[in-house]
Amino acid sequence: MRTWICSFSFVIVVFYTSSSMALVPYVENPLPALSKLHNSSAQFRFADRDLRLAQDWKQLGVAAVVWDAAVVMCVYLELGKVELRGKEAIELGAGTGLVGIVAALLGAKVTITDRQPALDFLSANVNVNVPADLQGSVVVSELSWGEGLERYPAGGFDLVLGADIVYLEDTFVPLLRTLEHLCSDSTVLLLACKIRYKRDTDFLSMLRRRFTVEEVYYDKHRDIHVYKSQKVTPARDL
């Protein structure tokens, strides 16, 4: 569903997609900063491989374009600050799947998730960009935050990844419920975020009630923060 809002000389579109909502300028000749989102594909080089991610803004909106947070997350993963080889990882709200694909190329076994309407698109990107010998290390799976969590092992992942998934306030509670289910005390949670509004920092405050939160990387050019979190172990009486 699209809601059109006129403001001065701009036309604003609110996109309600399968996984999220975004408010972005929409014009026939988009601003340079947004024009890349309207391209049919986006190209990158990570893990010594050339990657081409299909994009489909017109059909799937924000769920089917590569946002800067995903790129910055991949840059951080390539730095080697977090062990990936042989680790069990899961990506939430994967969209095009760039982060999960790069994690797999760097040696992780990855479950790449999004809501059902995005899965065919996501699977196609995985099939094109993950080589045949690594296809067995990647699973594309449906996950609506807070729903059907019993299908995923409680605390069963070494690494949980999310790029630009913190911006829609209505999703904060089910997202936190999902993170608590997926993470054990030793699980590393990485979130790449652009802090756009007060509600984004409100989410980090909510996260701190159950997780440590440490900023481990900042891309000044793209204004993207990467936060590393782990569950807080409840204090025990002596």
Domain ranges of the chain: 37-231
- What pLDDT does residue 37 have? 64
Residue type, 128: V
Nearest CA to 80 out of 41, 47, 120 is that of 47
Q: Strand pairing of 183-193 and 157-163? A: parallel
pLDDT for 68: 95
Which pLDDT score is estimated for 142? 97
Structure tokens at 103: 């994690």
Output the 3-class SS for the chain: CEEEEEECCEEEEEEECCCCEEEEECCCCCCHHHHHHHCCEEEEEECCEEEEEECCHHHHHHHHCCCHHHHHHHHHHHCCCCCCCCCEEEEECCCCCHHHHHHHHCCCEEEEEECHHHHHHHHHHHHHHCCHHHHHHEEEEECCCCCCHHHCCCCCEEEEEEECCCCCHHHHHHHHHHHHHHEEEEEEEEEEECCCCHHHHHHHHHHCCCEEEEEEEEECCCCEEEEEEEECCCCCCC
Please report the pLDDT score of residue 20 as a whole number.
41
Q: In this predicted structure, what is the pLDDT of residue 133? A: 95
For the chain, list residues with pLDDT below 50: 1-33, 237-238
> Cα–chain-centroid distance for residue 36?
18
pLDDT at 226: 98
The domain 37-231: what is its CATH number? 3.40.50.150
Q: What is the pTM of this model?
A: 0.83
Q: What is the pLDDT of residue 65?
A: 86
Partner residues linked to 70 by β-bridges: none
What pLDDT does residue 14 have? 40
